[in-house]
Chain A
Amino acid sequence: MSQRVTVNLGIPEAPREVTVVIPDDEPIPWQLGDHFAIVGAETPRVDGPAKATGAARYTYDIALPGMLYGAIVRSPYPRAHVKNVDLTRAMRIPGVRAALTITDGEIRFAGQEVAAVAAISSDIAADALARIKVDYEPLPFVVEMDAASADGAPSVFSGSNVGKPQISNHGDVERALAAAQYRIEATYTTPVQTHVSLETHGAVAHFDGGALTVWCSTQGVFTVRDDLAVLFNLPPDKVRVITDYLGGGFGSKFGASPEIVIAARLAKESGAPVKLMLPRGDEHLATGNRPNAEQKVRFGADASGKLVAIDLVQRGSGGIGAGSGSAGPFKMVYPCPNVRTEERNVYTNAGPSSPMRAPGWPQGAFALEMAMDEMARKLKLDRLEFRRRNNSNPVRAIELELGARAFGWPEKSAAPKSSGPIRRGIGVACAAWHAVGASGPEALAIAYRDGRVEIRCGTQDIGTGTRTALAIVAAEELGLPIAQISAEIGDTRYPFSLPSGGSMSSPSNTPAIRQAAAHLKAKLFKIAAPALGAEPSDLEARDGAIRVRFDPARRVAFKDVCRRIPGDSISAGGERIPNYAAYRPDQAGCQFAEVEVDTETGVARVLRVVAVHDAGTMIDPLTSRSQINGGVLMGIGYALFETRRMDPQIGLMVNPTMDDYKLVGPLDVPQIDVMFLNVFNGGTNTGVLGIGEVAHVASAAAVACAVSDAIGAPIRALPMTPDRILAALEHA
Chain B
Amino acid sequence: MRLNLTINGERREDDIDPRTLLVHYLREVAGLTGTHVGCETSLCGACTVHLNGAAVKSCTILAVQAEGAEITTIEGLARGGEMHPLQEGFWEEHGLQCGYCTPGMIMTAADLLAHNPDPSEAEIREALEGNLCRCTGYQHIVNAVRSAARKMRERKAA
- Chain A interface residues toward B at CB < 8 A: 44-45, 47-58, 60-61, 63, 121-123, 196-200, 245-248, 250, 277, 279-280, 462-465, 622-623, 625-634, 657-659, 663, 665-667, 669, 671-672
Contacts and interface: CB of A to CB of B under 8 A. Distances in A.
A667 B125 contact: yes
Interface in B8-35: 17, 19-20, 24, 27-28, 31-35
7 contacts: A52-B91, A197-B134, A198-B133, A199-B36, A245-B99, A248-B134, A666-B131
A572 B155 CA distance: 47
Contacts of A463: 97-100, 135
Contact of B91 (A49, A123, A666): A49
B91 A633 contact: no
Given A54-B34, A280-B39, A463-B135, A44 B99 contact: no
A55 B39 contact: no
Interface in B63-91: 73-75, 77-78, 83, 86-88, 90-91
A666 B128 contact: yes
Contact of A51 (B27, B33, B77, B96): B96
Given A54-B34, A54-B35, A248-B135, A45 B17 contact: no
Contacts of B75: 53-55
Main secondary structure of the interface of B (DSSP, over half): loop
A663 B134 CA distance: 8
B28 A246 contact: no
Interface residues of B, number: 59
A122 B28 CA distance: 10
A123 B19 CA distance: 8
B85 to A, nearest CB: 11
Nearest first, the 7 A-B pairs at minimum CB distance are A54-B34, A629-B137, A463-B98, A51-B99, A247-B100, A48-B91, A61-B33
A665 B141 CA distance: 12
Q: Which of B24, B83, B90, B139 has the most CB of A within 10 A?
A: B139
Given A123-B17, A198-B134, A623-B94, A666 B141 contact: yes
Given A60-B36, A247-B36, A667 B27 contact: no
Given A58-B36, A61-B33, A280-B38, A666 B142 contact: yes
A358 to B, nearest CB: 15
Central interface residue in A52, A200, A628, by most chain B CB within 10 Å: A52
A657 B43 contact: yes
Contact of A45 (B19, B28, B94): B94
B106 interface: yes
A671 B73 CA distance: 31
A626 B136 contact: yes
B137 A672 contact: yes
Interface string B135-150: 1111111100000000
A630 B96 contact: no
Nearest to A250: B134
A277 B40 CA distance: 12
Contacts of A250: 134
Interface in B101-158: 101-103, 106, 124-126, 128-129, 131-142
B27 A61 contact: yes
Given A53-B78, A279-B40, 17 more contacts: A51-B102, A52-B87, A52-B106, A53-B87, A58-B100, A60-B37, A121-B17, A123-B20, A280-B39, A626-B135, A629-B140, A630-B134, A633-B137, A658-B39, A658-B44, A666-B138, A667-B125
* Most central of B36, B86, B94 by chain A CB within 10 Å: B94
B46 interface: yes
B121 to A, nearest CB: 9
A58 B133 CA distance: 16
B96 A622 contact: no
B17 A52 contact: no
B139 A669 contact: yes
